[in-house]
Structure 1
Amino acid sequence: MGCILTLALLFTFGIYVVYSGPHILQYRLTLISTPTPGSPQCTITAYMDGLNYGRYDSDTGHGQALVPSLSIPSLAEHREMQTRHARGVELIQRDKIKFLMGFLNKTNGNGDFHVYQRKFACELHEDGTVRGYEEIAFDGKEFISVDKERVVYVPVTQEALVITELWNKRYDYAKTNKIYLENECIQHMKMYLPYLSTDLERKVPPKVKVSSSESESGTKLHCRVYGFYPRDVEVKWIKNGRDEIHSEEAAQILPNPDGTYQIRVSVGVTPEGGATYSCHIDHSSLEKTLVIPFEPNKRSHFYIIPVAWLLLLLLLIILGALIYRKRMAKGQENFRGGKP
């Protein structure tokens, strides 16, 4: 079966509790074509409402729970079961990446490096409806997804037109995965929630640091927000208390080793007299929007004099000093010569 259908990171607790949504259970798989020291070739991670609760990697060859509530000894048998499943998943994914590389005429020789990724998620909404998705990406670009109406894999890019037809014949898992999505995935979600409720309800307020930097392209303001939980957060720069400054850089929310998250939002600005800038943060742990003003000090590059002016000023000072020394020397010669 497909990657997610046989996915190992599942715990069969035998506890069924009805939970209204919205909730989302997501699995992410990453497989790289070439073994890299310090980086597992295959990684599977499991998330409940953004909480990373389970992980498998090919280096250790074992699945593991990442939260204490799922690490209890009584679940050791289930963790062993998930490890067996994950090893099978890894074999299937190795076949898939070889198939893709062969079709796209790419090999893992000569230092080539390719990445295969797969996402699968089921969603339970407050009205009881169930939705979900399945996406496949290669080298960072999504190229195949599932058409929920026809229940087949469909191309996302022009390059994937031909390969999708072959994919449906070789890996005909769309219908089977749909059944899994609407049934087992939701059942597993309801099993996990009682054990993960404390972690899911945990709220850690963010810490914030604002700074600036200079480059050839101009001035940039940086707002680093870190140490917050849960994952969802909104960070933006505001000018003069009302105008949002849109960032040209895509900001990513990244995980920290302690289970919290971080993000940095940077924007380019043109220094203006009297203009004010502030970073605004919205997070579920905050009662109201957190506003951190950018306050340049005397050493800040934000208001520094352009280098050209500094060089000109320095040149004038040196020139003045030379003229002064020349006049002093001439005066001393006249004095020694007895000229009035």
Structure 2
Amino acid sequence: MKNGSIVMKLLVLLMFSLHRSSAGTHSYQYIITGVRGIDFPEYTEVGIVDGEQINYYDSNIRRTIPKADWMKKVDYPDYWNINTLNSQANQERFEVDLPIIMRFFNRTEGVHTWQEMYGCELDDDGTVRGHMQYGYNGEDFLSFDLNTITWTAANAKAVIIKNKWDPNVGYYKLKEHYLKIDCVEWIKKYLSYSRETLEREVPPEVFVFHKHFPSPEVVCHATSFYPRGLLMFWQKDGEEVHEDVEIRETLPNQDGSFQKRAILRVSSEELKEHRYTCVVQHISLEKETVQTVPDPVGVSVGTRTIVGAVVAVAALVGVGVGVLILKKKKSGFGAVPVNPNT
């Protein structure tokens, strides 16, 4: 299979859906990816605070750059040079590790990824949670247990690596200190720089339209909202509907806001006999937004085309953030930023 066709099938957004920070919770995480066999940078790093990308590094540009405007306020001494040097050192380590893992699995051809995701969450009540995970080809491989300071293996191959890594207790005590203390301090620092941006509340714009009329699918699309936490569901004559409903993942827009959609499969006859509505709830709204499904007979072709085009553009804007996911499974961490200039 050609790389281009692999990319088309596996292009899925995940970066900002890896950790969904709820109200009263703040998060900071790093996603590191080494990749072989595809036309993308062989090594990338992405820093994320509360679902927003804050910096970026890859093996082509070989420097760490800001991706959020408020990151330019960081006054930590020599912050960007230190991060660049750390990333370059990490890149050298990954360039050694990935070929070893590939040989370990007896796979040297095709597309392969060796990934690390680590970070922490801080609740308003002071509760701290840390995590560190490794994945191979988008599947869980090893995860770090902060309680026992040991690794948990996801498969038989990972057990071999776990047994090699577990004895190095001193090194992983340092990792524990970072995840429980240093990482949390960075959350606090970043929030002090970004409070105006990350704590804003922007209400969603909501559209309901028929997909590819006269298809039985009706789409409820909410976009341009912030923060990312949003609840949407369908109702039939005022009662919540669960059958023939698909709730899609929340996706990022290029401006830092988010979008989400819920798809309902319903016949034209049902639409004529019953009142279907899409209900959207968000922290920015004083009361929930309710949109009624338009009469398919009363919607002109021109209107359907315009609304469909607007939503298609909104979806493409989300893709513009650029994350390539290779075989997302289970927790499925595995983000490969496509373009540092997006």
Contact conserved, 1:153 with 1:168, CA < 8 A, in 2?
A: yes
SS at 1:183's partner residue?
helix
Written as runs of structure 1 = structure 2, the 5 A alignment for 1:230-241 is 230-241=227-238
Which of residues 116, 119, 123 is equivalent to 1:118?
Answer: 116
- Displacement of 1:295 after TM fit? 0.9
CA contact (8 A) 1:31 1:115 kept: yes
Name the structure 2 match of 1:98: 99
Q: Distance in 2 between matches of 1:106 and 1:64?
A: 34
2:64 is the alignment partner of 1:63: yes
Per the alignment, residue 197 of structure 1 pairs with 195
Matched length: 275
Task: Give, in angstroms, the shift of residue 214 of structure 1.
Answer: 6.1
Task: Determine helix, strand or coil for the equivalent of 2:55.
Answer: strand
Q: 1:1-340 counterparts in 2 under 5 A?
A: 22-36=25-39, 39-72=40-73, 77-107=78-108, 109=109, 112-157=110-155, 160-166=158-164, 168=166, 174-213=172-211, 219-245=216-242, 251-271=248-268, 272=270, 273-298=272-297
For residue 316 of structure 1, what is the aligned residue in structure 2? none
Shift of 1:245: 2.3
1:178 offset after TM fit, Å? 0.9
Considering Cα pairs closer than 8 Å and 6+ residues apart, tell me whether 1 or 2 has the greater RCO: 2
Superimposed CA distance per residue, residues 133-186 of structure 1 (whole angstroms, 9 cap, x where no aligned partner) = 122222222232122321111123455344433454699854321111122112
Instruction: Say if 1:232 and 1:118 are closer, same or farther in 2 by CA, change over 3 A.
Output: farther
CA-atom RMSD in angstroms: 3.0
Counterparts of 1:214 and 1:68, CA distance in 2? 38
Distance 2:169 2:113 in 1: 19
Tell me, which stretches of 5 or more residues in structure 2 are unaligned?
Answer: 1-23, 301-342
Question: Are residues 47 and 275 of structure 1, via their aligned partners in 2, closer, same or farther at CA, if it must alter by over 3 Å?
Answer: same
How far has the Cα of 1:199 moved from its partner? 0.9
Query: Displacement of 1:74 after TM fit?
Result: 5.7
**Aligned residue identity for 2:86:** H
Identity of aligned residues (%): 28
Match of 1:6 in 2: none
Normalising by structure 1, we get a TM-score of 0.71
Q: 1:32 is aligned with what amino acid?
A: V
Once the 2 structures are TM-superposed, how far is the Cα of residue 198 of structure 1 from its aligned partner?
A: 0.9
Q: One-letter code of the match for 1:279?
A: C
SS of match in other structure, 1:278: strand
More displaced stretch, 205-214 vs 252-261? 205-214
Quote the Cα distance in structure 2 between the aligned partners of 1:32 and 1:240: 50
